[in-house]
């Protein structure tokens, strides 16, 4: 199926608008830190690009259930992928999870309480 010319630029602009709305909400969500990663940091957009966030938040929920809170509250018109870590996990997992370490090094901090 052919792709509409200019769709990648359109997708970038859509993601940037949604990210602005998300950034405005972050102080109200009880997060300690939020880091933007992925295509929006690298600047390499595709029609499948989404907003990728690493979130640090105090929570008692299991790892697999933590993103549900953000899916509900962010209510975004684009795909938002959140990986939520407790403050303790965030500190200890930086060295043991290579992908997390790279995301922290290359990512852009959106919020830091």
Of 76, 73, 27, 68, the C-alpha closest to 50 is: 76
Of 45, 76, 72, the C-alpha closest to 84 is: 72
Task: Give the residue, 31 or 76, on which the prediction is more confident.
Answer: 31
Asked if residue 73 belongs to a domain, the reply is: yes
Asked if residue 25 belongs to a domain, the reply is: yes
Asked if residue 103 belongs to a domain, the reply is: yes
Q: What percent of the chain has pLDDT over 90?
A: 76
Element (H, E) at 28: none
Domain that holds residue 105: 7-112
Note the pLDDT tens digit of each residue in 32-74: 999 999 999 999 998 889 999 999 999 999 998 999 999 888 8
Q: What does pTM read for this prediction? A: 0.90
pLDDT at residue 5, rounded to an integer: 55
Domain tally, the chain: 1
- Take residue 36 and report the two structure tokens written for it: 């933007």
Query: Residue 97's domain is classified under what CATH number?
Result: 3.30.460.10
Asked if residue 1 belongs to a domain, the reply is: no
Note the pLDDT tens digit of each residue in 42-51: 999 988 899 9
């Amino acid at each position: 199926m052919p792709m509409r010319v200019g769709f990648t630029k359109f997708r970038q602009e859509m993601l940037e608008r949604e990210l602005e709305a998300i950034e405005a909400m972050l102080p109200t969500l009880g997060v300690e830190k939020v880091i933007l990663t992925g295509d929006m940091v690298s600047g390499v957009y595709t029609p499948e690009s989404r907003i990728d966030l690493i979130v640090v938040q105090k929570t008692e929920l299991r790892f697999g259930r933590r993103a549900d809170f953000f899916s509900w509250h962010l209510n975004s018109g684009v795909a938002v992928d959140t990986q939520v870590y407790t403050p303790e996990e965030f500190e200890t997992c930086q060295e043991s999870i290579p992908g997390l370490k790279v995301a922290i090094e290359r990512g852009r901090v959106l919020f830091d309480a």
